[in-house]
Each structure stands twice: as C-alpha cells, then as structure tokens.
C-alpha cells in the first residue's frame, strides 16, 4: 500500500493583486495530488474564482471559511496533475488587499476518494485554534490550514505536539496576515491545534487525506518523508 509522500512545497505572498502565481515546482510520481491553500484579506465578495496547475488543469475546492467580511481561508486539491515543471496560480474576482498561498505535492494518495472527513467551521478570536477531524484512521493523513489576521502582531506560531509544520508565512503591506499548514498521522487522533502570541481573528480548515490502497484494516500510516519550502513574492 502506497504511503503519501510530500515532494515539494512552495509558498508566495502578494499585496493589492487579483491573482497570485507560486514559484515553479516539478510534479512526478504515481497516485499524485496537488494541495493548494490560501489566506486572503479583503471583502468576502472578492472570493477565489479558481486555482490551476500548468495553466489549464483546474483544482477542486476542499473547503472555504470566511469571517467578518474581510478575511478568508481556502483549500483545493488536484488529482493526477500532469508530470511537468510548472506553476500553481490562484485567481480572484477582483483585486484583494493581501494573499498568502502555498502548494504541496503528495504522492501515494487514493485517486478515487482522496479527501475524507472535513472540519471547516472553526473561526473566532484568540491565541489558539483547535480543530477535530472525526473518523481519523491509521490509513489517513490529517492536514490543517489556518489563517490568522494578526496585522503583524500575532507571532510565535506553534503546532500541536504530534503535528509537523509545513507552511508558516506572513504577508507584507498594510494588511499583514499569516498562513499556517501542518499535518499529523490519522492514528494520532485527528485533533489539530495551533497557538500563538497576541489575540486576533483566526480561521481554520482541517481534513483527512486518504492513502492509496487504504480504507481497510492494516493499512500503512501515511507519513511525510520529506518537505522543502520555497517562498516567492509577487
């Protein structure tokens, strides 16, 4: 049974833009999935209109969360992306104040039902977030995507003890915000947390990624063997 493996993670930020293109990455392997995420500061009406790989391959939404009509977090997935070196691009209906975005390649992902249970209703104000993905099992990998609208004051982000951080970036400009992404094995229970200093508005999504050949007893626990983070600005 295949074990989901992260090959490359790329990140980027942009200010006063209607789209963002992440640094180029190389996609290869079997049972592939691209995971894209973004934290956006602007009116909720200026929502994401789409995400693409290699110009024309469109992502499918995993979930979206917004708060106070100025802040949103989104996640998308693309199964079986073309093997090539190219870019992920995320587009909006109009110009937004700031964007923090990431894209991650995973292999060894179930190509029929890649995403399991989803928790996409966590938002509030404070210095921590906790999300629970129910039904987490030994053949799933749990990922959380968190946005903190800290205006640059929220710092020292710490994932839960059993989590591994993948992305921790902040935008510049007049409306700074943070994008955080981490993962843990489903066998650890499905509770995903982040904590930080200085209280502010936060949003979160969390979901299970199913391993190829999983769905039954005795499946190998999906793990990340390697990750590489590269950041660009636009």
pLDDT score for 228: 42
CA distances from 218 to 109, 155, 180, 214 (A): 16, 40, 31, 9
Extract the tokens encoding 77.
Answer: 């997935």
Query: Shortest CA distance to 100 belongs to which of 32, 152, 37, 6?
Result: 37
Inform me whether the pLDDT recorded for 70 exceeds 90. Answer: no
pLDDT score for 217: 35
Residue pair 177/145 in contact by the 8 Å Cβ criterion: no
The pTM of the full predicted model, rounded to 2 decimals, is 0.88
User: What confidence tens digit (pLDDT) does each residue in 121-170 have?
Assistant: 788 999 999 999 998 888 889 999 999 986 667 788 999 999 999 999 99
User: What confidence tens digit (pLDDT) does each residue in 14-25 have?
Assistant: 999 999 999 999
């Amino acid at each position: 049974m295949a074990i989901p493996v992260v090959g490359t993670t790329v990140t980027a930020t942009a200010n006063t833009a209607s789209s963002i293109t992440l640094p180029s990455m190389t996609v290869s392997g079997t049972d592939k999935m691209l995971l894209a995420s973004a934290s956006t500061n602007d009116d909720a009406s200026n929502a994401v209109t789409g995400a693409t790989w290699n110009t024309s391959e469109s992502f499918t939404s995993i979930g979206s969360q917004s708060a106070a009509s100025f802040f949103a977090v989104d996640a998308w997935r693309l199964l079986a992306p073309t093997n090539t070196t190219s870019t992920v691009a995320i587009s909006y209906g109009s110009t937004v104040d700031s964007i923090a975005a990431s894209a991650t390649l995973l292999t060894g992902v179930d190509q029929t039902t890649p995403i399991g249970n989803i928790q996409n209703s966590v938002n509030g104000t404070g210095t921590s977030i906790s999300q629970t993905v129910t039904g987490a099992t030994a053949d799933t990998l749990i990922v959380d995507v968190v946005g903190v609208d800290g205006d640059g004051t929220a710092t020292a982000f710490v994932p839960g003890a059993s989590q591994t951080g993948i992305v921790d970036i902040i935008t510049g400009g007049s409306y700074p915000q943070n994008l955080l992404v981490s993962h843990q094995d489903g066998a650890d229970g499905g509770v995903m947390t982040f904590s930080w200093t200085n209280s502010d508005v936060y949003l979160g999504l969390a979901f299970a990624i199913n391993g190829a050949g999983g769905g039954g007893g005795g499946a190998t626990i999906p793990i990340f063997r390697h990750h590489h983070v590269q950041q660009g600005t636009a």
